[in-house]
Structure formats: C-alpha cells, structure tokens
Amino acid sequence: MEKIKIGIETHVQLNTKTKLFCGCSMKDINSVSENSRCCPTCLGMPGSKPRVNKGAIDAAIKVALALNCDVLSEMYFSRKTYFYPDMSKNFQITQYEVPLAKDGKLEIIDFEGKVKKIGIERIHLEEDPAKLQHVGGDISTANYTLIDYNRSGIPLIEIVTKPEFSHPKEVRRFLKKLVMILEYLDVYVPGDLSLKSDLNISIDGRERVEIKNVTGAIDAEKALQLEIVRQKGAIMRGEKIERETRAWLPGKNITISLRKKETENDYGYIFEPDLTKIEISKKWILEMKNKIPELPHHKFERYQKEFDISPELINSIIDDFYLAEFYEKCVKKEDPKLVATWVNILKKILYYNKKSFKEAEITSDIFLKLLKMIKRGEITDLGAEMILREITFNQQEFDKISKKYVKTDDIASIIDGVIKENKEAVFDYKSGNEKVMQFLIGQVIRKSNRTVDAKTAKRLLEEKL
Amino acid sequence: MKKIINEAKELNKKYNFFVTINEKAIKGIPIAVKDNICTKGILTTAGSKILHNYYPVFNATVIEKLKGCSVIGKTTMDEFGFGTFSINSAYGIPKNPHDLTRSCGGSSGGSAGYIAASKYSKFAIGQSTGGSITCPAAFCGVVGLTPTYGLVSRYGLIDFANSLDKIGVLAKTVDDASSCLKMIAGYDQKDSTSVDVKLKTKTTKNLKIGIPKEYFEHTDKKIVEKIFKLLDDSGIKYQEVSLPHTKYAVSAYYIIALCEASTNLAKFCGLRYGLSSNPEGKGFNEYFTEIRSKGFGEEAKRRILLGTYARMAGYRDQYYLKAMKVRTLIIKDFKKAFKKVDILVAPSMPTIAPKFTEIKKLTPLQHYAYDILTVAPNLAGIPQLSVPIGTMDKMPIGLQLLSDHFREDYILSFGKEVERWKK
C-alpha cells in the first residue's frame, strides 16, 4: 500500500461580538444586508487604524489550550501583502514569525481503528478578507464582481497541523472532533463558510500538492480521496506529479489546477507597525484555562464510567454541548438509560428540523414529566415520540398535547371499528394471509392516535379474530 | 477670519503653500494643516494625484482635539511625505518666503512656509517621518516641534511609515509651538501606538548640554562655526558626546520607512476612493496597474519599488530585519548619551535651503543624504525642536535640540533660551 502524508491548514471564523480590528458588530453578520457592517478601518480608508479585539485573543487562547498547544508570551501581528480585490488594504493583518501558539496535539482514531496523535504545528490569528461575488462566471470570466465588506475583518484562527495524517478518513475525523471542540468552547458559529481547510498531500514521497479552500469535514475527505485517485491515475499514465496548488469545486467533486510552484506569491511580510507587541501573561492564560468546559473526549470517558449506556448513545449525546448539559441535568432525577434513549430521540427530532438544542424550547422539567408518563405506562413509546415532536419547540402546550396520547379505556371499540371497516383484510387474514395482520395493527395504532402499541394491538386483534 | 483667509489666498498666489483653502472657516483660531491629515469634508490629498478627489468621512484625532480652531487650509507637501524639498507634489511646489528661487524644505513645506510668511497665524500642523518638520522649519526660519513618538495620536494621518510618523507643530515661537502641542497631545485609544503619558512642559533650568560630534561632520562649515560662536557667546557649558551608529541611520531609515510605505500605499488602487477609471473589460490586476501608474508620482513609484524589494523573501533578512536591528542600536546610542546630558544640540540641516536649480542636479541618493541629521532622532522616536538661529547668506539656519523620550520640557525650556540669544 502506498504511503500517504497529509497536513492541513484550517481557518475558523470566531464568533466574537465585534470584528478583529474595529468595533463593527458581528451580530447576525452573515444574514444582514451587504456592506452594512463596515467602518473606515475594515474598509481600509486612508488614515484609519486597527485596534485589537481582546475577545478574539481570548477565544484563540482557549482553542490553543484545548488543542494542547504552548501559548507564547508575546504576540505580534504582521502584514502579508498581495493585491486582490477582496483585500481592503491589499495587505492582510496576520501573524508570521511568531504565532499565538505552537506544538499542540489532538488524538483521533486512525483508519485502522487505533488511537493516533496528530501534531499541531501552530495556531495564529488573522483577519478575514471581504467576500467577492462574481456575477456571470468565475473571477476570470465574470461580467463584473461585487464586494461585500461585511466579512472584511472578521477574526479567523488558522490551525496548522503537522503532515501526520495517513488517510483521508483521519482528516475527516480530525475536523469533526475539532468542530465539536470549537462548539464546546463557544468560539465558533457553525455555518456554511465558517470552517475552511487547505489540504497538503504527498504520496510515496512525491511532490506535495495543495488543495485550497475546502469547506467542512466531509468535503475534505472527499477532495483528498479524489486527489489520491487522480494522482494514481496520472502515475499509471506515466505522468510526473508536480508541486502545485489546486482548487476544489464542491458541486462537481473535482479539483482543478490553480498554479504551479514557480508562480507562488512572495508576500513580503513586515511587522504590523500600527499595532504594538501584546504580552500574554500566565494569569491571562490561566483565566482562559478556567473558562474551558469539560471537553468532549473527557466527557466520553466520564459517561462510560458513570452511566451504563452504549458508546453510540454517548457520542450522540455529547455531540451537542448543550444537549449533553441537558442530559446531565435530567440524569440527576431519572434513570440514565431511559434518559439517554429519549435524549437520543429528541436529538433526531432536532436533526430533522435542522436545529441545534440551543434553539429548542424544551426544559428538563417537562422532559422528565414525559419520561414519568412513559414509565407509568400512561402512554406508549409511539405516543411519547409524537408528544415530544410537538413540544420540542412549543412546550407550554405540553398538558394539552400529552392528553391526546394518553391510553384510552375503550380499546375494544377501536378494535371492533377496525374489523368492521376492513372487511376485505379480515377475510384475507382468516383465509390464511398472515401478512395482513401488520396492516390491521397499523390501522389500530392510527385510529387510537398512537395510544395503543403494536404488541397490544396484535394481541387484541388475534383474540377477537 | 476673513482677513486671514484673504491673506492665505494672497500668499498662495505667490508661494503656493496650500492645496486647499477652506473658505468655510469662520471663527476660532486659524490653523493650517498638512494635507496628509484627514479633515472631514475637506479635500485631503496627501500631495498625491491618486487622492485628488478624497473627502474623508472622519476627522483625524488631532483635528478633533484642536478645539476652538478652524482649519483654514491644507498645506502643500511632498506626495505622501516622500521628499526633503516639497518638490514631489502633485499640487505645485511651495516657494521659500525668504527667496522664491529656493525650497521651503519638506515634506511639511507648505505649513512651514505659511507660518514664516503669515502675519496672523502663529502655528500650523506638520508631520515628520524622517525630518519633515525640522527640515522645513530650518529652511523657512520658524520653530519646528516633533514630539515623542506616541505622544500625539496618528489616527487620521495618511500613513507614510507608521512606526516613524509623528504629527507635530510649525510655529512662530517656542511658546506658540508649546501651546499648540498642549492641545494635540494625549492618549487616544484609536491609535494602538499612542502612549498614556502626560505631556511635560514645565520650564527647567541648568540643563546639561551635549554636542554629538557626528552631526557636525557633514554640515556646512560656516553653519558649524556659527553654532559654536553662539554657544560660546551664550556662556553655557557643553560637552562632546558620540552617537557612533549615526553613519548607518540613513540606510536603516530608508529601508524601514520604505518597507512600511510600500505596504501602506498598496491600498490605493482605485476601488473605493481616489483616482478611478472605467474598469470595463479590464482584469483587476490590469485595472490596479492603470490607476497606480497614473496616480503615483515618480518618487512614490521609486519608493514602492525599493520598499517592496527590501522585504522580499531572500532580501528580507539582510535588509528589513537588519535595519530593525540598526534601529535598536541607534536608540541605545541616544539612551547612553542621555545618561550623560539632558539635551543634544546639533545643526538642523547640513546647508541652508537649496535653490530649485541646485535640487534638480541631485541624484535620488544625494537627496536622501540631506536627511543625515534628522533621520536618527526620528528612528529613535525622541522629541526634536528646531529653533531659528539667524541667517547665513540671507537664508535662515536652524538649531535642533534633542532630548530623551517624553522630555519635551527640556527642549522647550532650552529652546526659549536659544530664542533669547543675540544672533
């Protein structure tokens, strides 16, 4: 098997209150109208000056600590100069010689199922450029290009790993875990464009190829898989793998060559002379350390020890920080297994509605009431799921809604009704077609508004027929 | 005020001190401001064609701080401050009020010339990166005050080299300079390099005077003689000190200043403000190139090229980073000298104001060499005061006084003594 080396550089948008170098608010910044959140600084007006948002440094330090990095005691910004229409100043304020943090690691499960440490080379803070919208094509073919400066100056952290991945699957797992950590740290807004990676891959010691700007974990895995296929094909055809930069076209699932090595940019870095050195004290780092909650991998280990539930259920619960918090609140008063089962169902409901737990309305009190009803046998599992679906975003109505699903005393008349209305099916059943029973059970469940479960319905139908 | 505006207009016809005269100014203390400082709603060009139509949407902090003052005009300057004689301007060259065939100096040439010529205005706002206040002050025979780096906010200053730029004052007298500085100094959270230190202006006597020998080596002998005669006549004691790294200052200064300048000027590309043209059918590179080719003058282009070269991979270590190390050594030189003395006294400029015909013959390198006496104090960020000390061949000469960071009180105190000397 070939030896694959992959290293990645991931950019994450931070969810600070204001931009990195000015006071522009970031609230709902991805949904407000274009160019409504900008000021002289993020527009690069002559005479404007950057000033650093401490909140962004706080967030970056938290990420660095969660990824086991050493945070450096002094922080400097640099100018990276290149001309591009998305750059308001034609230079980006970033960090060059001295990053915010270095030498970290993150554990993942490798493609053979074993625990593997991925080294983190460095983490640094920089500003996002404006957003370009090419109308009628790409940058070279478009009729014209619109620029939205709302994005200009949003804080980004760049996380650079060592080239220690040996399979695309590992990259996906790394990014999934990273996203979960970022969500736990509350420094990140999950969204379409908030996590982008540049992927560097080299196979069997051949030249390194970079795939730029791949969004999310799944596309990163896909892009790498396809790159491996492309390179194998090229080698089979006797072609040489050149050092180059390629772009990933997500919809088309292909990569295209952007530039070969010789045209790589020279960014002419200098220290940012409008900003002074920032000292990061041990006290500051400690303060941030204390703000880091129990991280998902630690939570997983604790759940395994404390609660008798399957690893799959644990993963499902801890995947959402706030859902895990909810779970932990509920298990104080209820059986962890029962809670886990129903928290998992709640999660499926959220997933179906494309919402996170934070956006749900349900409280632990109501949720526990529902579990009590299940335990007492007042409602069927099916009925409980129906109630949960209705109250997840509307819990005030719990009493009214739950009443609809309480088991009826009059099951006999429902059974009679179903038999009466489905004479043909009953005839078939009596003639030996047992499959029809499933249909009849379904009718009973529906007619009873899910207050009768399948087992009971089957027993009663069989008795009657 | 009307009188003042009319005077400014009259002077402008003869000397070309202004890019813009603000006829809307109606009351308060009249103040002329160098054209690289943003004034809300008043044309601000930084002497460049690329900003020929730029009306800032905000005031620089110094403008906000000049309470009770009215901006009467924006003064001519070398494009973005790139020059020693104010000849690199897209809006005409200011002429020396003592001799129309000679330069006002630069780059704050318009502000200095105006203060020398005006009967009414007592001070004007200038700005120095490597000597742009001291030079025109000396050539025009006015007081030039360059404060400690960080004492006056740079917010709203169109950057030349951010780690060197300082906003300061050109004035009739040391007291005028001092009262203007009192208005504009002070911490500003909008400028991260602004320092929260209180300005010192109390009069101090019996200051220890040092003479940095390196500053007299490249100066016109007649100027040197005059300075020593004045010092001896005044009866004050002085001692010789050495600033051994002075000889590297011009090289280090130009590398650092141009590295920063070449990134600062990248933003001017015809996208959101300034010179523009019809972009139809052009790629962005083609469009940027067109605007920058048309909008920048020759010296700006030279400095962008030099600055870009000095920070390129492969040259960065031997130029940019090395110049930064030299800068540290120059600061150490001054710190060491200020352990022995309170004030360093030196000529402001190596010659009197040259004639335009003489300037034409200078190579760019000879141009840069003119800054030999001013770039080191600017690299160190220490306060500088240029005080007129009479004339030579009917042209003014300046004496520059230097002190340690935030010791403006020393140079202002001694400056007043120098004013009292019999010249």
Residue A143 Cα, gap to closest chain B Cα (Å): 8
For the beta carbon of residue A427, count every other beta carbon within 10 angstroms: 11
Report the alpha-carbon distance of residue A223 to residue A231 in Å, rounded: 12
Q: A157 φ, ψ to 5°?
A: -110, 140
Q: What are the pLDDT digits (tens) for A172-182? A: 999 999 999 99
Contact list, B271 vs chain A (CB under 8 Å)? 85, 147
Residue B225 lies in a domain: no
Q: Span A435-458, mean pLDDT?
A: 82
Higher pLDDT, A58 or B284: A58
Q: Provide the sign of the torsion angle of the four alpha carbons B59, B65, B69, B73, taken in this order.
A: negative
- Give yes or no: residues B87 and B121 share one domain: yes
Q: Answer yes or no: do B44 and A46 touch at CB < 8 A.
A: yes
Domain boundary pick from A374, A389, A404: A404
- Burial class from Cβ neighbours inside 10 Å (0-12, 13-18, 19+) for residue A338 reads middle
Residue of A nearest to B315 (CA): A268
Output DSSP code: residue A257: E
Under the banding of pLDDT at 50, 70 and 90, the label for residue A378 is confident
Q: Strands, DSSP E only, in B35-104?
A: 69-75, 95-96, 99-103
- Give yes or no: residues A427 and A457 share one domain: yes
- Give yes or no: residues B311 and B255 share one domain: yes
Residue of A nearest to B310 (CA): A268
Q: What are the pLDDT digits (tens) for B103-123? A: 999 999 999 999 999 999 999
pLDDT greater than 90 at residue A289: yes
Residue B355 lies in a domain: yes
Under the banding of pLDDT at 50, 70 and 90, the label for residue A192 is low
Which run of H or E residues covers position B387? strand B384-392
Q: Is A276 on the interface with B (CB under 8 A)?
A: yes
- Give yes or no: residues A84 and A197 share one domain: yes
Q: B121 φ, ψ to 5°?
A: -75, 135
**Which whole-number Å values give the CA distances from A416 to A38, A405, A407, B221, B264, in the listed order?**
70, 20, 17, 124, 86
Report the alpha-carbon distance of residue A332 to residue A170 in Å, rounded: 36
How do beta strands A4-13 and A70-71 pair?
Answer: unpaired
Nearest to A47 among B156, B268, B283 (CB): B156
- Give yes or no: residues B85 and B47 share one domain: yes
Q: Is A75 on the interface with B (CB under 8 A)?
A: no
For the beta carbon of residue A430, count every other beta carbon within 10 angstroms: 10
pLDDT greater than 90 at residue A454: no
CA A201 to chain centre: 24
Q: Answer yes or no: do A46 and B46 touch at CB < 8 A.
A: yes
CATH number at residue B178: 3.90.1300.10
Helix (H, G, I), strand (E, B) or coil at B242: coil
Residue of A nearest to B45 (CA): A46
Query: Of B76, B122, B105, which Cα lies nearest the Cα of B397?
Result: B105
pLDDT greater than 60 at residue A263: no
- Report the catalytic residues of B: 34, 107, 132
- Give yes or no: residues A258 and A120 share one domain: yes
Q: What are the pLDDT digits (tens) for A389-399? A: 988 888 888 88
**Which whole-number Å values give the CA distances from A430 to A416, A434, A454, B189, in the listed order?**
16, 8, 20, 88
Q: Is A269 on the interface with B (CB under 8 A)?
A: yes
Look at residue A377 in the predicted model and tell me its pLDDT.
Answer: 82
Residue B156 Cα, gap to closest chain A Cα (Å): 4
Residue B395 pairs in a beta bridge with: B392
pLDDT greater than 60 at residue A262: no
Q: Answer yes or no: do A90 and B284 touch at CB < 8 A.
A: no
- Give yes or no: residues A228 and A244 share one domain: yes
- Give yes or no: residues A349 and A392 share one domain: yes
Report the alpha-carbon distance of residue B328 to residue B380 in Å, rounded: 8
**Residues B381, B403: contact at Cβ < 8 Å?**
no
Q: Answer yes or no: do A268 and B285 touch at CB < 8 A.
A: no
Q: Span A369-378, mean pLDDT?
A: 89
Q: What share of chain A is helix, strand, coil (3-state, %, to 5)?
A: 40, 20, 40
Residue B152 Cα, gap to closest chain A Cα (Å): 14
Number of domains in chain A: 3
Look at residue A436 in the predicted model and tell me its pLDDT.
Answer: 85
Per the listing, tokens 């429902």 go with A414
- Give yes or no: residues B161 and B273 share one domain: no
How do beta strands A74-75 and A78-81 pair?
Answer: unpaired
- Give yes or no: residues A283 and A301 share one domain: no
Q: Which of B149, B187, B276, B311 to mutate against chain A (most A CBs within 10 Å)?
A: B311
Q: Answer yes or no: do A45 and B193 touch at CB < 8 A.
A: no
Residue B239 lies in a domain: no
* Mean predicted lDDT score pLDDT of chain A: 91
Helix (H, G, I), strand (E, B) or coil at A159: strand
A vs B, Cβ pairs < 8 A, gives 104
Q: What are the pLDDT digits (tens) for A334-351? A: 999 999 999 999 999 999
Q: Which of B162, B164, B189 to mutate against chain A (most A CBs within 10 Å)?
A: B162
Q: Answer yes or no: do A91 and B271 touch at CB < 8 A.
A: no
Report the alpha-carbon distance of residue B154 to residue B193 in Å, rounded: 8
Output DSSP code: residue A164: -
Nearest to A89 among B161, B267, B308 (CB): B267
Report the alpha-carbon distance of residue A109 to residue A102 in Å, rounded: 22
Output DSSP code: residue A124: E
**Which whole-number Å values give the CA distances from B309 to A409, B132, B318, in the listed order?**
89, 24, 11
Q: What are the pLDDT digits (tens) for B135-144? A: 999 999 999 9
Residue B63 Cα, gap to closest chain A Cα (Å): 13
Domain boundary pick from B324, B359, B390: B324
pLDDT greater than 80 at residue A411: no
**Residues A380, A373: contact at Cβ < 8 Å?**
no
Half-sphere exposure of B180 (CA within 13 A, CB side): 30
- Give yes or no: residues A91 and A238 share one domain: yes
Report the interhelical angle of A54-66 vs A282-291 (nearest 10°). Answer: 70
Nearest to B192 among A40, A145, A274 (CB): A274
- Give yes or no: residues B316 and B180 share one domain: no
Averages of pLDDT over runs of 10 residues in chain B (423 residues) are 94 98 91 98 98 98 95 98 97 98 97 97 98 98 98 98 98 98 97 96 94 95 96 95 96 97 98 94 92 98 97 92 97 98 98 97 89 97 98 97 98 97 81
Report the alpha-carbon distance of residue A344 to residue A313 in Å, rounded: 7
**CB proximity list for B196: less than 8 A, separation 6 or greater:** B187
Question: How many H helices and E strands in chain B?
Answer: 14, 13
Q: Is A275 on the interface with B (CB under 8 A)?
A: yes
Contact list, A21 vs chain B (CB under 8 Å)? none
pLDDT greater than 90 at residue A406: no
Look at residue A193 in the predicted model and tell me its pLDDT.
Answer: 63
Q: Is A80 on the interface with B (CB under 8 A)?
A: no
Q: Answer yes or no: do B192 and A83 touch at CB < 8 A.
A: no
Q: Answer yes or no: do B155 and A47 touch at CB < 8 A.
A: yes
**Residues A417, A447: contact at Cβ < 8 Å?**
yes
Contact list, B192 vs chain A (CB under 8 Å)? 49-52, 274-276
Q: Which domain holds residue B319?
A: 247-324
- Burial class from Cβ neighbours inside 10 Å (0-12, 13-18, 19+) for residue B278 reads exposed
Residue B182 pairs in a beta bridge with: none
Q: Which of B40, B264, B293, B325 to mutate against chain A (most A CBs within 10 Å)?
A: B264
Residue B331 lies in a domain: no
- Give yes or no: residues A341 and A460 share one domain: no
Which run of H or E residues covers position B117? helix B109-117
Report the alpha-carbon distance of residue A174 to residue A58 in Å, rounded: 23
pLDDT greater than 70 at residue A235: yes
CATH number at residue A440: 1.10.10
- Give yes or no: residues B193 and B294 share one domain: no
Q: A32 φ, ψ to 5°?
A: -75, 165
Report cis status (omega within 30 of 0) of the bond before B107.
yes
Q: Which domain holds residue A435?
A: 411-464
For the beta carbon of residue A368, count every other beta carbon within 10 angstroms: 17
Look at residue B352 in the predicted model and tell me its pLDDT.
Answer: 97
Q: Is A281 on the interface with B (CB under 8 A)?
A: no
Q: What are the pLDDT digits (tens) for B284-325? A: 899 999 999 999 999 999 999 999 999 998 899 999 999 999
Q: Answer yes or no: do A85 and B313 touch at CB < 8 A.
A: no
Residue A8 Cα, gap to closest chain B Cα (Å): 23
**Residues A160, A96: contact at Cβ < 8 Å?**
no
**Residues A179, A190: contact at Cβ < 8 Å?**
yes
- Give yes or no: residues A347 and A443 share one domain: no
**CB proximity list for B206: less than 8 A, separation 6 or greater:** none
Q: How many Å is the Cα radius of gyration of chain B?
A: 20
Under the banding of pLDDT at 50, 70 and 90, the label for residue A412 is confident
Report the alpha-carbon distance of residue A323 to residue A277 in Å, rounded: 40
- Give yes or no: residues B300 and B381 share one domain: no
Query: What would the 3-class secondary structure string for B286-314 be?
Result: HHHHHHHHHHCCHHHHHHHHHHHHHCCCC
For the beta carbon of residue B379, count every other beta carbon within 10 angstroms: 28
Under the banding of pLDDT at 50, 70 and 90, the label for residue A67 is very high
**Residues A164, A200: contact at Cβ < 8 Å?**
no
Query: Of B247, B173, B190, which Cα lies nearest the Cα of B213?
Result: B247
Q: Answer yes or no: do A268 and B311 touch at CB < 8 A.
A: yes
- Give yes or no: residues A187 and A85 share one domain: yes
How do beta strands A254-260 and A244-249 pair?
Answer: antiparallel
Report the alpha-carbon distance of residue A219 to residue A39 in Å, rounded: 34
**Residues B33, B125: contact at Cβ < 8 Å?**
yes
Count Cβ neighbours within 10 Å for each residue of A72-92 and write b for 16 or more, e otherwise.
Answer: beebbbbbbbeeebbbbbbbb
Contact list, B54 vs chain A (CB under 8 Å)? 46
- Give yes or no: residues B172 and B254 share one domain: no
- Give yes or no: residues B303 and B376 share one domain: no
User: A310: which 2 tokens?
Assistant: 């399957």
Number of domains in chain B: 2
Contact list, B60 vs chain A (CB under 8 Å)? 47
Look at residue A435 in the predicted model and tell me its pLDDT.
Answer: 83
Residue of B nearest to A80 (CA): B263
Domain boundary pick from A287, A310, A344: A287
pLDDT greater than 70 at residue A10: yes
For the beta carbon of residue A426, count every other beta carbon within 10 angstroms: 18
**Residues A78, A93: contact at Cβ < 8 Å?**
yes
Under the banding of pLDDT at 50, 70 and 90, the label for residue A30 is confident
Q: Which of A22, A43, A45 to mutate against chain B (most B CBs within 10 Å)?
A: A45
Q: Span A240-263, mean pLDDT?
A: 83
Domain boundary pick from A269, A287, A305: A287
Nearest to A47 among B38, B268, B320 (CB): B38
pLDDT greater than 80 at residue A313: yes
Residue B336 lies in a domain: no
Report the interhelical angle of A321-330 vs A311-318 (nearest 10°). Answer: 120
Helix (H, G, I), strand (E, B) or coil at A155: strand
Nearest to B313 among A79, A90, A266 (CB): A266
Q: Span A102-125, mean pLDDT?
A: 95
Contact list, A49 vs chain B (CB under 8 Å)? 154-155, 190-192
Q: Which of B267, B316, B378 to mutate against chain A (most A CBs within 10 Å)?
A: B267
Output DSSP code: residue A307: S
Look at residue A312 in the predicted model and tell me its pLDDT.
Answer: 92
Q: Answer yes or no: do B311 and A85 touch at CB < 8 A.
A: no
